[in-house]
Amino acid sequence: MGIDDTLNKEQAEAVRCTEGPLLILAGAGSGKTRVLTYRVAWLMTEREVQPWNILAITFTNKAAGEMRERVDKIAGAQAASVWVSTFHSLCVRILRRYIGALGYDTRFTIYDADDQKNLMKQICRKKEIDTKVFKEKMFLGNISRAKDELISPEEYEMNAGSDFTQKKIEEIYYEYEKQLKLNNALDFDDLILKTVRLFEKNPEILDNYQERFRYIMVDEYQDTNTAQFRLVSLLASKYKNLCVVGDDDQSIYRFRGANIRNILNFEKEYPGARVIKLEQNYRSTEMILGAANEVIHNNKGRKDKSLWTDNGRGEAVSYRQFGTAYEEAEFVAGDIAMSVRNSERDYNDNAILYRTNAQSRLFEEKFIAANIPYKIVGGVNFYARREIKDLLAYLKTIENGVDDLAVQRIINVPRRGIGQTTILKVQSYADSHEISFYDAILEARLIPGIGRGLSKIEKFGELIQKLRRESDTLDVPGLLAEVIEVTGYVIELEAEGTDEAKARIENIDELKSKAVSYAEAHSGEEATLGGFLEEIALVADIDSLDNDQDYVALMTLHSAKGLEFPYVYMAGMEDGMFPSYMAISSDDRTELEEERRLCYVGITRAKKRLTMTGARCRMVNGQQQYNPTSRFVKEIPEEYLAEDVDVSREPTPEPPSAKYRQKMNEFRRKPYAAPKPYEKQEPKTLKGVGLEYGVGDRVAHKKFGEGTVTNINDMGRDYEVTVDFVGHGVKKMFAAFAKLRKVE
DNA sequence: CTCCCCACTCTTTTT
DNA sequence: GAGTGGGGAG
């Protein structure tokens, strides 16, 4: 079977082009995973490249797993030694071997967002920083961005100048790094950063990997950040057989440091690079693709391309606006329930995509009521749950005794009567003797003024020591069971007897079975405690999405990237939700463009039918918000958007007939202006009078001059109006005080 | 030392 | 609306 029979011309070309730098611009649904897998097979069979000389990097474990599976299928057993890995797990594997060269212990722990926040909290306390003025999140955000850009604390210091805030960040950055090192821990960004540093400082180690990975492929290249870019450059610089696949229109991770220039400047960075465009879409219908093309066309500064398909016209994209988010969710649940009942679809043919995780709640409620099986991807990560983190902290403490954060988490969990005063005494003893918190516990009797706490502390220390000894003989599931046993963790929850406690016990049972399946998957000498902890640290929630199970998938638009579903619902299509309020009010136009790319990603997930929904009114942060239809909906021309909405299965009292159509046409005619204010239709005005202006209207303020209303919040007794003033920026004000006047 | 209640913030998006 | 952190009582 030749590749020309199964691939189109461009795809086949991309497979054959194995030597030198290659950029594959792969539009949504253009079969890039197919190309990548065939390329791996081609390298091995036609070019006789050894499988272990091939490295394929993806973004998520799920993508890596899928690729692995498909490579195995077409290339057989020899493919097993091809490295298919995420950036993070690749780096961890390298660091576990060589991080000693950077002065860390190879048993380092990996800090997740929660751990980072805890550490930062401690640092702020220590540095006596008022976290009302400087928020932990602000520090972490800046540090993370610096790390993504490979900026060390020293370099940060040089750039900080005399700016007060910058100086503070610099100071905290130093301390944060110091603490991580003391705890023998790395955060997510460090995994990439330290690997880059390792290679830069140790040419012989780099050379070793350059020899090893002679052919490198990177998926989702548009989402790489500077550190990842550098890592790839280093690895590829010797043989230059680098194939990157990406789509600049699907770059949606700038907030995480993704640098779109990595893909836009690839040809400059690698002179002589081949560029192959994949523009035939095998996923969606013409209608869906047309809508997607039109929307993304509003962005500037993109590589020009236009997707096409021969999948046929298909159904138009439909848009429905509801009065409330409640009705919106009800409609979606009803729509899905109906079509499943009619055997038109299975549950897992459907996905609901939204901008923010908070939007999942209403859908969850409605799905439970309608008895629809569903799975929420993202939100609170399983491994971020308290009981799971507690038990993992025990395991971490057993594995790496210098992780103070883990020890402090569990020292009084379950309750041992060890309070804050005792902990502080241990801490200051540890600090002054420059030993870890755990080591201080072990010599607790030397701590001055420890008093009654001593026996409790000692007991805790003995407990951990005992578990450590047992860890030599027990496997991971056995050790976990032992931890649960000796701490009485589950027994305590059982005694509580609440529903919440029961849910926690269920989660613990799930953790147990994950430990068992880890042990099974790595049967043999490989199944170590460290390996288990590492696997857990690197899983994303999206990895748990199982194609074989029949449930509706609910997730954010970001999580949906790389996935496809026959029926897609994009919910919350409102200006203020999507595009987000942040993007709308930002001076930076590119923020809106990023949102638009996100919209493009959402639209192109749909294979057969795309339904967009929105609500005129919804609760956000406990406040009622009135939002106009999303500008993205308005960017879809009539020819792709459903003219008449199927009302037969719609329970709303007034079917959107001629009136509805008229309204649709009305807002479509004015491309960017918001529709007529909803407030006018709102009868109850506790405020005496309704507002004479609405979202999108031009208003005048006696101090700030003219501006445009971007949002109105019903605060109960008054309206909170957000206005974007010319020359004065965005202001929030109360309608009763502001005395805004409508300007025609 | 623990528990409970109140006030406050938060929402973009995540490996 | 929910989760967190601080303060105060027991």
Told to judge if A32 belongs to the known catalytic residues of this protein, a careful annotator would answer yes
pLDDT per position as a tens digit, A194-240? 999 999 999 999 999 999 999 999 999 999 999 999 999 999 999 99
- Among A10, A11, A32, A596, which one carries the catalytic annotation? A32
Q: What is the pTM of this model?
A: 0.82
User: Residue A148's pLDDT is what?
Assistant: 93
Task: Give A426 CA → B14 C1' in Å.
Answer: 35
Whether the beta carbon of A178 falls within 7 A of nucleic chain C: the reply is no
Q: Which nucleotide is nearest to A358 (CA to C1')?
A: B11
* Half-sphere CA count of A193, side-chain side, radius 13 A: 18
Q: Which nucleotide is nearest to A62 (CA to C1')?
A: B15
Cα R_g (chain A), whole angstroms: 28
pLDDT band at residue A649 under the 50/70/90 scheme: very low
Task: Give A677 CA → C2 C1' in Å.
Answer: 30
Report the distance separating Cα A84 and Cα A56, nearest Å: 5
Whether the beta carbon of A619 falls within 7 A of nucleic chain C: the reply is yes
Nearest protein residue, CA measured to C1' of B11? A356
User: Residue A722's pLDDT is what?
Assistant: 78
Nearest protein residue, CA measured to C1' of B9? A621
User: Residue A587's pLDDT is what?
Assistant: 83
User: Residue A645's pLDDT is what?
Assistant: 43
Whether the beta carbon of A415 falls within 7 A of nucleic chain C: the reply is no
Told to judge if A605 belongs to the known catalytic residues of this protein, a careful annotator would answer yes
Mean pLDDT computed over A259-278: 91
- Among A39, A283, A514, A605, which one carries the catalytic annotation? A605
pLDDT per position as a tens digit, A176-199? 999 999 989 999 999 999 999 999
Higher pLDDT, A241 or A548: A241
Instruction: Please report where in the chains the tokens 């100086």 appear, as a residue.
Output: A167
Q: Please, are residues A512 and A481 in contact by the beta-carbon 8 Å criterion? A: yes
Q: Which nucleotide is nearest to A586 (CA to C1')?
A: B12
Nearest protein residue, CA measured to C1' of B8? A132
Mean pLDDT computed over A582-610: 92
Nearest protein residue, CA measured to C1' of B10? A621
Percent of chain A with pLDDT strictly greater than 90: 53
Strand C nucleotides with an atom less than 7 Å from a protein beta carbon: 1-2, 5
**Strand runs (DSSP E) across A310-394, as ranges?**
318-324, 350-354, 374-376
pLDDT per position as a tens digit, A38-85? 999 999 999 999 999 999 999 888 888 889 988 888 888 888 899 999
Whether the beta carbon of A622 falls within 7 A of nucleic chain C: the reply is yes
The string of DSSP letters for A607-660 reads EEEEEEEEEEEEEETTEEEE-PBPHHHHTS-GGGB-SS---TT---SS--SHHH
**Strand runs (DSSP E) across A51-210, as ranges?**
54-58, 83-86, 109-111, 185-187
Report the distance separating Cα A552 and Cα A571, nearest Å: 14
Whether A674 shows a pLDDT value over 60: the answer reads: no
pLDDT per position as a tens digit, A299-322? 987 887 889 999 999 999 999 999
Task: Give A595 CA → B12 C1' in Å.
Answer: 10
User: Residue A287's pLDDT is what?
Assistant: 95
Q: Which of A190, A257, A245, A252 is nearest to A221 (CA)?
A: A245
Mean pLDDT computed over A551-564: 92
Report the distance separating Cα A268 and Cα A233, nearest Å: 13
Task: Give A708 CA → C1 C1' in Å.
Answer: 30
Told to judge if A468 belongs to the known catalytic residues of this protein, a careful annotator would answer no
Q: Which nucleotide is nearest to A131 (CA to C1')?
A: C5
- The token duo for A211 is 């020899």
- The token duo for A696 is 């999108």
Nearest protein residue, CA measured to C1' of B1? A419
DSSP label at residue A163: -
- Among A250, A280, A611, A708, which one carries the catalytic annotation? A250
User: Residue A431's pLDDT is what?
Assistant: 87
Higher pLDDT, A701 or A211: A211
Higher pLDDT, A347 or A683: A347
Mean pLDDT computed over A634-656: 58
Distances (CA, A) of A176 to A20, A169, A181: 41, 10, 9
Task: Give A395 CA → B15 C1' in Å.
Answer: 23
Report the distance separating Cα A618 and Cα A326, nearest Å: 8
**Which of A6-10, A681-685, A707-711 has the least mean pLDDT?**
A681-685
Told to judge if A324 belongs to the known catalytic residues of this protein, a careful annotator would answer no
Q: Which nucleotide is nearest to A191 (CA to C1')?
A: B15
- Among A13, A16, A18, A33, which one carries the catalytic annotation? A33
Told to judge if A321 belongs to the known catalytic residues of this protein, a careful annotator would answer no
- The token duo for A366 is 């409605």
pLDDT band at residue A395 under the 50/70/90 scheme: very high
Burial A382-401 (b: 16+ CB within 10 A, else e): ebebebbbbbbbbbbbbbbb
Mean pLDDT computed over A665-680: 28
Q: Which nucleotide is nearest to A581 (CA to C1')?
A: B12
Q: Which nucleotide is nearest to A555 (CA to C1')?
A: B13
Told to judge if A390 belongs to the known catalytic residues of this protein, a careful annotator would answer no
Task: Give A263 CA → B2 C1' in Å.
Answer: 56
Task: Give A615 CA → C6 C1' in Å.
Answer: 38
CA A41, A44, A49, A52 dihedral sign is: positive
What's the mean pLDDT when you consider all of chain A?
A: 85
Task: Give A619 CA → C2 C1' in Å.
Answer: 13
Whether A652 shows a pLDDT value over 90: the answer reads: no
Task: Give A561 CA → B14 C1' in Å.
Answer: 12
- Among A219, A223, A328, A697, which one carries the catalytic annotation? A219
Q: Please, are residues A573 and A612 in contact by the beta-carbon 8 Å criterion? A: yes
Q: Please, are residues A220 and A246 in contact by the beta-carbon 8 Å criterion? A: yes
Whether the beta carbon of A121 falls within 7 A of nucleic chain C: the reply is yes
- Among A112, A220, A330, A591, which one carries the catalytic annotation? A220
Mean pLDDT computed over A565-577: 95
Whether A667 shows a pLDDT value over 50: the answer reads: no
User: Residue A680's pLDDT is what?
Assistant: 25
Mean pLDDT computed over A570-594: 90
DSSP label at residue A17: -
Report the distance separating Cα A437 and Cα A457, nearest Å: 12
Q: Please, are residues A614 and A561 in contact by the beta-carbon 8 Å criterion? A: no
Q: Which nucleotide is nearest to A89 (CA to C1')?
A: B15
Task: Give A623 CA → C2 C1' in Å.
Answer: 13
Q: Which nucleotide is nearest to A386 (CA to C1')?
A: C3
Helical pair A476-487 and A499-521, crossing angle rounded to 10 deg: 150
Nearest protein residue, CA measured to C1' of C1? A622
Q: Which nucleotide is nearest to A619 (CA to C1')?
A: C1
Whether A535 shows a pLDDT value over 50: the answer reads: yes
Task: Give A112 CA → C3 C1' in Å.
Answer: 19
Whether the beta carbon of A137 falls within 7 A of nucleic chain C: the reply is no
Strand B nucleotides with an atom less than 7 Å from a protein beta carbon: 1-3, 9-15
Whether the beta carbon of A126 falls within 7 A of nucleic chain C: the reply is no
Q: Please, are residues A684 and A594 in contact by the beta-carbon 8 Å criterion? A: no
Whether A658 shows a pLDDT value over 70: the answer reads: no
Task: Give A175 CA → B1 C1' in Å.
Answer: 31
Task: Give A139 CA → B5 C1' in Å.
Answer: 30
**Which of A330-339, A422-431, A692-701 has the least mean pLDDT?**
A692-701
